[in-house]
Structure 1
Amino acid sequence: MKNIVIGSGPAGRLAALELGKLGEEALLIEKNHIAGTCLNEGCMVICALTDITRFIETNNRFNSYGFLKSQIDISYDKIVEKIQETQVKLRKLNELENESVNNQIIYGKASIHDNEIHVNGGSYNYDKLLISTGARPYIPDMPGNQYGLTNKDILKIDEIPDKLNIIGSGFIACEIANIYSKLGSEVTIFSRHSFLKNIDEDIKKYILKYLISGVTLKENVNVLKIKKNVAITDVGEFEGSTFFAVGRLPNSEIAEGFIDLNTDSTIKVNEFLESSKKNVYAAGDVIGGYQMTPIARMEGIAAARNMAGFLNKIDYKCIPQSISLNMDVSYVNDEKIENKDLKEISYPAIAGPNSFWNILTGDTGLSKISFDSEENKIGNISAISPSSVSDVAYLSYLMRIGADLDDFENFIEIHPSTDTNYKIIKSMWL
Structure 2
Amino acid sequence: MADYDYDLFVIGAGSGGTRAARVSAAYGARVAVAEEYRVGGTCVIRGCVPKKLLIYGAHFAEDLRDARKFGWAVPDDCAFDWATLRDNVLSEVDRLNKAYTTTIESSGAEIIHERATIAGPHEVKLASGRIVTAERILIATGATPHVPSCPGHKHGITSNEAFHLDSLPKRILIAGAGYIANEFAGLFHQFGSHVTLINRTDVILRGYDEQVRDRLLQISTMKGIEFRFHAEFRGIEKQADGSLMVEMTGHDPIEVDCVMFATGRVPNTGGLGLENAGVEWDEKGAITVDADNRSSCDSIFAVGDVTNRVQLTPVAIREGQAFADTFYGNKPTQVDYDCIPAAVFSHPPIAGVGLTEGAAREKFGSVKVYQSDFRPMKNVLAGRNERALYKMICEANTDRILGLHMIGPDVPEILQSAAVAVKAGLTKAAFDATVALHPSMAEELVLLK
- C-alpha distance in 1 between matches for 2:325 and 2:435: 35
8 Å contact from structure 1 (residues 305, 312) kept in 2: yes
What letter matches 2:195 in structure 1? V
- C-alpha distance in 2 between matches for 1:191 and 1:358: 36
Corresponding position of 2:246 = 231
Work out the number of aligned pairs and report it.
424
What letter matches 2:227 in structure 1? L
RMSD between aligned residues:
2.2
Distance 1:217 1:420, change over 3 A: farther
**Among 117, 123, 126, which residue is 1:116 paired with?**
123
- Which stretch has the larger CA shift, 21-30 or 63-72? 63-72
Q: Secondary structure at the match of 1:127?
A: strand
Q: Secondary structure at the match of 1:236?
A: coil
Write the deviation string for residues 40-67 of structure 1: whole angstroms up to 9, x where unpaired.
1111121111111101110022246774
**Among 415, 425, 436, which residue is 1:402 paired with?**
425
TM-superposed CA distance for 1:264, in Å, is 1.6
Write the deviation string for residues 318-345 of structure 1: whole angstroms up to 9, x where unpaired.
1111111343210112388452322212
Write the deviation string for residues 352-387 of structure 1: whole angstroms up to 9, x where unpaired.
6xx466663233522111211303211221112333
Write the deviation string for residues 271-295 of structure 1: whole angstroms up to 9, x where unpaired.
1110011121100000002111111
- C-alpha distance in 2 between matches for 1:376 and 1:79: 47
8 Å contact from structure 1 (residues 170, 196) kept in 2: yes
TM-superposed CA distance for 1:211, in Å, is 4.8
TM-superposed CA distance for 1:162, in Å, is 0.9
Corresponding position of 2:210 = 201
5+ long unaligned stretches in structure 2: 1-5, 239-243
TM-superposed CA distance for 1:414, in Å, is 5.5
Corresponding position of 2:60 = 55
- C-alpha distance in 2 between matches for 1:261 and 1:287: 9
Corresponding position of 1:328 = 349
- C-alpha distance in 1 between matches for 2:438 and 2:292: 42
Write the deviation string for residues 120-157 of structure 1: whole angstroms up to 9, x where unpaired.
34332111111000000001111111011101111231
Q: Secondary structure at the match of 1:392?
A: helix
Corresponding position of 1:347 = 372
What fraction of aligned residue pairs are identical, expressed as a percent? 24
Distance 1:412 1:133, change over 3 A: farther
What letter matches 1:16 in structure 2? A
8 Å contact from structure 1 (residues 56, 72) kept in 2: no
What letter matches 1:169 in structure 2? A
Distance 1:11 1:416, change over 3 A: farther
Q: Aligned runs of 1:16-415 on 2, under 5 Å?
A: 16-63=21-68, 67-70=72-75, 71-114=77-120, 115-119=122-126, 120-193=128-201, 194-211=203-220, 213-228=223-238, 229-234=244-249, 235-240=251-256, 241-253=258-270, 254-257=272-275, 258=277, 259-308=279-328, 309-334=330-355, 337-339=360-362, 340-348=365-373, 351=376, 355=378, 360-363=383-386, 365-409=388-432, 411=434
TM-superposed CA distance for 1:421, in Å, is 4.9
What letter matches 1:53 in structure 2? A
TM-superposed CA distance for 1:415, in Å, is 5.3
- C-alpha distance in 2 between matches for 1:281 and 1:358: 54
Corresponding position of 2:3 = none
Q: Secondary structure at the match of 1:49?
A: helix
Write the deviation string for residues 55-112 of structure 1: whole angstroms up to 9, x where unpaired.
1110022246774322332222222211111111111111122222212111111122
Write the deviation string for residues 174-196 of structure 1: whole angstroms up to 9, x where unpaired.
01100111111111011110222
8 Å contact from structure 1 (residues 230, 242) kept in 2: no
- Which stretch has the larger CA shift, 14-23 or 89-98? 14-23
5+ long unaligned stretches in structure 1: none
- C-alpha distance in 1 between matches for 2:192 and 2:32: 45
Distance 1:269 1:421, change over 3 A: farther
- Which stretch has the larger CA shift, 414-423 or 295-304? 414-423
- C-alpha distance in 2 between matches for 1:28 and 1:407: 46
- C-alpha distance in 1 between matches for 2:433 and 2:320: 34
8 Å contact from structure 2 (residues 436, 447) kept in 1: no
Q: What TM-score comes out, normalization by structure 2 length?
A: 0.88
- C-alpha distance in 1 between matches for 2:433 and 2:138: 43
Q: Secondary structure at the match of 1:210?
A: helix
What letter matches 1:206 in structure 2? R
